[in-house]
């Protein structure tokens, strides 16, 4: 993993509607139901994920394969990063302890597909910036670890993917807005219902733990 986070820009004017979805964790059926309920149109709309497409749920390969679709974009979550690291021989026990055991149960054909997809996940950005008709939207998995956002400025990739410091501070009453963008969308930390602190939205509502999947229309 690089020391600094990688950014990607998306021009929202190319899409009719844009949705952001919380941590999917292999729960493909719940995602499909949520998209169907919104009458999602793949040729007009865009779905952006806060990461953690894989692990714990039943359909990790199918969920990870979404990153190949033109109507889908995702930042990398810590579960993608654990898979990337494990396939490089780094910290395999950590991935196994956190739901990566599915990979080691695959037959050779599916393992080959999974390896290709995990290699593709290694090209995912850590931060996606969307210029939407509702202002500048920023999506990252766990946090944007500075209090001022600027596209391309150096931020620690590990903190973007793993940190829970900001949401812990916010829950303790120390809420700080992040300047430089209208809204920020994060997953990573399961919450019972969508939580908002200043201009930050936490949308991992624990679908794989018996909660629900949050799908928000941001344009």
Return d(Cα 101, Cα 56) in angstroms, integer.
Answer: 9
Q: From the candidates 25, 39, 59, 79, which is the catalytic residue?
A: 79
The CA-CA-CA angle for residues 179, 132, 9, to 5°, reads 75
DSSP 171: H
Nearest to 200 by CA among 52, 74, 72, 20: 20
Return d(Cα 185, Cα 176) in angstroms, integer.
Answer: 15
Catalytic, 79? Answer yes
Residue with tokens 């812990």: 168
Return d(Cα 27, Cα 101) in angstroms, integer.
Answer: 16
The CA-CA-CA angle for residues 29, 142, 182, to 5°, reads 95
Total residue count of the chain as it appears in this document = 219
- Catalytic amino acids? 79
């Amino acid at each position: 993993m690089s020391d600094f986070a990688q950014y990607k820009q998306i021009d929202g004017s190319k899409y009719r509607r844009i949705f952001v979805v919380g941590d999917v964790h292999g729960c493909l059926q719940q995602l499909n139901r949520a998209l169907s309920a919104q009458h999602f149109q793949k040729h007009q709309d865009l779905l952006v994920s806060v990461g953690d497409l894989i692990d714990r749920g039943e359909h990790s390969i199918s969920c990870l394969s979404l990153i190949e679709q033109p109507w889908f974009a995702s930042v990398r979550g810590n579960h993608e990063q654990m898979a990337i690291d494990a396939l490089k021989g780094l910290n395999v026990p950590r991935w196994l302890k956190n739901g990566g055991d599915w990979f080691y149960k695959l037959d050779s054909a599916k393992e080959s597909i999974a390896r290709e997809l995990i290699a593709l996940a290694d090209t995912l950005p850590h931060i996606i910036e969307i210029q939407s008709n509702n202002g500048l939207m920023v999506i990252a998995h766990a946090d944007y670890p500075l209090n001022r956002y600027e596209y391309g400025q150096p931020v620690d990739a590990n903190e973007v993917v793993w940190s829970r410091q900001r949401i812990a501070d916010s829950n303790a009453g120390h809420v700080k807005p992040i300047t430089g963008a209208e809204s920020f969308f994060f997953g990573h930390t399961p919450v019972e219902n969508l939580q908002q602190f200043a201009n930050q939205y936490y949308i991992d509502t624990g679908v794989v733990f018996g909660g629900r999947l949050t799908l928000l229309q941001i344009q």
